[in-house]
Amino acid sequence: MLLFLFGCVMLVVGYFLYGNIVEAILQPDDRKTPAVKKFDGVDFMILPTWKNMLIQLLNIAGIGPVIGVILGIKFGSIVFLIIPVGNIIGGAVHDFISGMMSMRNQGANLPIIIKRNLGQFSFWILSGFMILLLLLVVAVFVNVPADLLNGMIPDILNKMFPSLNNGMVSSPTIFWIAVGAIGLYYIVATLFPIDQIIGRFYPIFGLILLLGTAAVFVALLWHGNNDPAHFMIETEAFKANMLKDPIIPCLFVTIACGIMSGFHGTQSPIIARTLKSERDAKKVFYGMMVVEGLIGMVWAAAGMAIYNLNTAMMSETPMKVLLNITQYFLGGPMGNITILAVVILAITSGDTAMRCIRLTIAENLHISQSSVINRLAICIPLILIIVALLLWSNKSAESFKILWNYFAWGNQVLAALTLLTGTVWLLRKRRNPLIAVIPGAFMCFVVITYILWTSKAHGGPAGIGLNLKISYMIAAGLTLLLFGWAFYLGSASTESEEEDPSNRIENKNGDWDDLQDLEDSDGECSLNPENRKKWKRFAKLAVLADLKNMEEMDDEELLKRIIGK
């Protein structure tokens, strides 16, 4: 009990202490945000800060801080320390950096940010990888909530209508009806402007999630005080059934959301396009990850309590354990509301994952998203792929296990790559990169070790299957090489235009924009004649051009030539 409460306090204190350090390095200021500069009424618009916070929480949370920690607590009570430490110096930093990078790149998605920092080759490789990961996310986040509803609805109907024959409620039928309903919602939420579906309903969903988690927390304290021998400690029966896999790398792949998750880097740009001020970034990006850590702590504690009370549950699926937790601690009505909160948690990450895929493809192929037809043209092929994944994953329990394993592994690969990109970005801005290097290098070491060590013989997906110590050594070497490369890229060229106002030029509206604004403006900016001297100086400082006849070029040609360089 004390270790659990201590971990919760660490998360709250860490938000104010370490969060302030990270904020001082990232330096959010009063510049115009993408929501102001690029307003389009669909994806770029200002939403209230409290809405952005709840939307971000639901975007990033998914089922990781519930299902993931129910699995992860099987590693033991050490989880109550790893979650807060990893969250504060890792996951929350990851989300804050990815959000700020997007805002400083005019709301760009992660692949574009990677392109500008790691190069064209990395961009194409990682764009494909990210889209594949997000497709897995959507498939998982349709499958799990449909499965939970499939387990809950027949029970509710039988209690409400005891005269019904149980055989009249067909589980497969309910599962696929739920799949269809969730899929239809994903399409609607993906196509509509962000304020019409996500902005309107997410705050309500967020409150339901927080209330359900708070109810479990209160029940844990109540039962733990009355029966401390079975709550949040490792009983002998629990120890006998604990997972024996190595904590590094297995725990950090199992508990993705709550500690660190690459999926969050794909979601932060959605909110980066709706913030009115950069000064809200800490609350929205760093703060909501801390809240997710608190959610994870509560469900990890509930999982340990159920495993202590009934060790047979340690061999059950996490969905069954979740149903057992809610029924034991909260009873029927409140338990069902909490299950609905978890279902919503999954659904509200799946729909924004679909939205992110659409925006990423549109951004890479330069397809305008102001038209519903254009949005639909991108969504239809995605839907067909997701249906195929669902059909395959439900062939057997083994198929879904493979789907989940690759989702979890890919998630952490993306987290490591996001922080690798963040390292380059910070170095180019002449900021202290250690806030990205420390968690990024650790997660890079974890995922490389996992790929080298895991195999079907180790109970994981297909991997190389090397000895664990050899995997550690190779992973350490490759991690040093990757982050050495990041330091080389970041130190080779610096960007100081954000700090030096003399490196700005004036656009048609009289606003001062930097090179990034010009690159994202599709030629909308215009050079006033009196600013050409400043533009020449800027070109020299940025080492962008040895262009001849600059005075004779028209604005459009000049911009294209310099940006093209």
Q: What is the pLDDT of residues 1-59, one digit of tens each?
A: 788 999 999 999 999 999 999 999 999 999 999 999 888 777 788 989 998 998 888 77
Q: At residue 289, does pLDDT exceed 80? A: yes
* Residue-wise pLDDT tens digits, 356-401: 788 778 877 778 776 778 878 888 888 788 888 777 766 665 666 6
Interatomic CA distance for residues 28 and 469, integer angstroms: 42
Token readout for 565 is: 């360089």
Q: At residue 529, does pLDDT exceed 50? A: no
* Residue-wise pLDDT tens digits, 495-509: 644 433 333 333 333
The overall pTM is greater than 0.85: no
Interatomic CA distance for residues 448 and 451, integer angstroms: 5
Token readout for 209 is: 């999630």
- Phi, psi for residue 497 in degrees, rounded to 5: -65, -25
Interatomic CA distance for residues 565 and 555, integer angstroms: 16
Confidence of residue 160 (pLDDT cuts 50, 70, 90): low
Q: How far is CA 180 from CA 372, 386, 417, in A?
A: 21, 12, 34
**Comparing C-alpha atoms, which of 456, 413, 65 is closest to residue 249?**
413
pLDDT of residue 443: 95
Give Cβ neighbours of residue 311 (< 8 Å, ≥ 6 apart): 237, 238, 240, 241
pLDDT of residue 339: 76
pLDDT of residue 178: 81
Average pLDDT over residues 63-80: 87
Q: At residue 76, does pLDDT exceed 70? A: yes
| AA letter at 468 | L
* Residue-wise pLDDT tens digits, 438-488: 999 999 999 999 999 988 777 767 778 899 999 999 999 999 999 999 999
Looking at 343-352, 430-439, 525-534, which range is the least confident one?
A: 525-534
Q: At residue 166, does pLDDT exceed 60? A: no
Looking at 95-99, 115-119, 132-136, 166-170, which range is the least confident one?
A: 166-170
pLDDT of residue 521: 38
Q: How far is CA 322 from CA 78, 240, 269, in A?
A: 21, 21, 31
Interatomic CA distance for residues 21 and 77, integer angstroms: 29
Token readout for 252 is: 């950090």
pLDDT of residue 43: 78
Does residue 24 contact residue 432 with C-beta atoms inside 8 Å?
no
Token readout for 385 is: 């792929």
Confidence of residue 62 (pLDDT cuts 50, 70, 90): low
pLDDT of residue 193: 66
Q: At residue 119, does pLDDT exceed 50? A: yes
In this structure, the dihedral spanned by the alpha carbons of residues 328, 333, 335 and 340, taken in order and rounded to 10 degrees, is 160
**Comparing C-alpha atoms, which of 485, 474, 499 is closest to residue 423?**
485
Average pLDDT, the chain: 78
Q: At residue 223, does pLDDT exceed 60? A: yes
pLDDT of residue 161: 54
Instruction: Name residue 439's beta-bridge partners.
Output: none
Taking residue 510's Cβ as centre, other Cβ atoms within 10 Å add up to 7
* Residue-wise pLDDT tens digits, 247-265: 999 888 888 778 888 888 8
Give Cβ neighbours of residue 46 (< 8 Å, ≥ 6 apart): 35, 36, 39, 274, 275, 276
| AA letter at 211 | L
Confidence of residue 176 (pLDDT cuts 50, 70, 90): confident
What's the distance, CA 288 to chain centroid?
A: 11
DSSP-derived secondary structure letter, 545: -
pLDDT of residue 505: 38
Q: Is the dihedral of CA 339, 344, 347, 349 positive or negative?
A: negative
